[in-house]
């Protein structure tokens, strides 16, 4: 990995791969989001924490795909994970989808280090004709060489299967001897997602969960009825209820804009 021989992981909890310099850059300003500040995703938090703790302990653990509706806390959960476990040796390297071709080289340079690395791919999906997923497959399950024990891939996506799904793919499937045989395109779509042993689904918030997220951001406001009315009006104007909407409502109305 060019220029990274002296990269100091003992004092660097996270880094990003920069294509133009063909190397890693330390993250200078970590997002401070804390584990306990996330609301409405308790089930996903528990599953992710258990898998990560097993990974840190050297026990069998899975690569993880967090998929589902936008703005529901998938990326925030990864950031909070680092803040929770970096003192226990967890390190994160963020790699853009377009740079996955460099993934084998990145992994080669960290596989013998005394830290546990999560390769983080945010908003991961592939379009027809893209081939970057092939490098990802080799890191997820290995090829001739087994994947390293100190590396796992955690990815977020709006697509369950990471690839586009077309009606024509289903039309090309066939039934033979009473068994459904999916078309090759569907097999390719599912085979990549299947390499993530733990898949966590995220859905748009109900109004109740959305208001819980709002309440957590406004702990000192006494008039909850007025606050909720404004929060619902704000979400309606955006057409979506999720954690991101609650954060945006907070940024717009905190400091005097919301009821007190």
What does the pLDDT read at residue 69? 87
Q: State both tokens at 208.
A: 């109740």
Q: Which two tokens stand for residue 202?
A: 């995220």
Specify the fold of 9-202: Rossmann fold (3.40.50)
**Helix ranges, the chain (H):** 42-57, 74-85, 103-110, 133-141, 167-171, 184-194, 207-217, 224-238, 243-253
The confidence band for 149, taking pLDDT boundaries of 50, 70 and 90, is very high
Q: What is the chain's mean pLDDT, rounded?
A: 84
The pLDDT of residue 189 is above 80: no
Q: Which stretch, 7-16, 54-63, 193-202, has highest mean pLDDT?
A: 54-63
- Predicted TM-score (pTM) of the model is 0.81
Percentage, residues of the chain above pLDDT 90: 51
How far apart CA 152 and CA 180 sit, in angstroms, is: 33
Residue ranges covered by each domain of the chain: 9-202, 207-253
């Amino acid at each position: 990995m060019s220029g990274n021989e002296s990269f100091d992981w003992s004092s660097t909890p996270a880094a990003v791969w920069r294509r133009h310099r063909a190397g890693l850059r330390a993250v200078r300003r970590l997002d401070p989001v804390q584990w306990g500040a996330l609301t409405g995703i308790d089930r996903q938090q528990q599953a992710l924490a258990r898998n990560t703790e097993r990974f840190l302990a050297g026990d069998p653990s899975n690569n993880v795909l967090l998929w589902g509706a936008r703005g529901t806390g998938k990326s925030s959960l990864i950031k909070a994970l680092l803040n929770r476990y970096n003192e226990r040796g967890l390190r994160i390297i963020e790699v853009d989808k377009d740079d996955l071709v460099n993934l084998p080289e990145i992994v080669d340079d960290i596989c013998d280090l005394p830290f546990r690395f999560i390769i983080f791919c945010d908003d991961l999906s592939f379009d027809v004709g893209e081939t970057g997923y092939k490098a990802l497959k080799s890191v997820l399950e290995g090829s001739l060489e087994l994947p390293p024990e100190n590396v796992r891939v955690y990815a977020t996506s709006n697509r369950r299967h990471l690839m586009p799904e077309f009606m024509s793919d289903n039309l090309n499937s066939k039934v033979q001897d009473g068994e459904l045989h999916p078309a090759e395109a569907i097999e390719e779509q599912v085979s990549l997602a299947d390499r993530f042993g733990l898949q966590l689904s995220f859905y748009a918030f109900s109004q109740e969960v959305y208001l819980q997220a709002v309440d957590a951001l406004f702990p000192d406001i006494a008039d909850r009825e007025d606050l909720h009315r404004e929060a619902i009006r704000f979400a309606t104007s955006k057409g979506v209820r999720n954690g991101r909407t609650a954060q945006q409502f907070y940024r717009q109305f905190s400091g005097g804009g919301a009821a007190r």
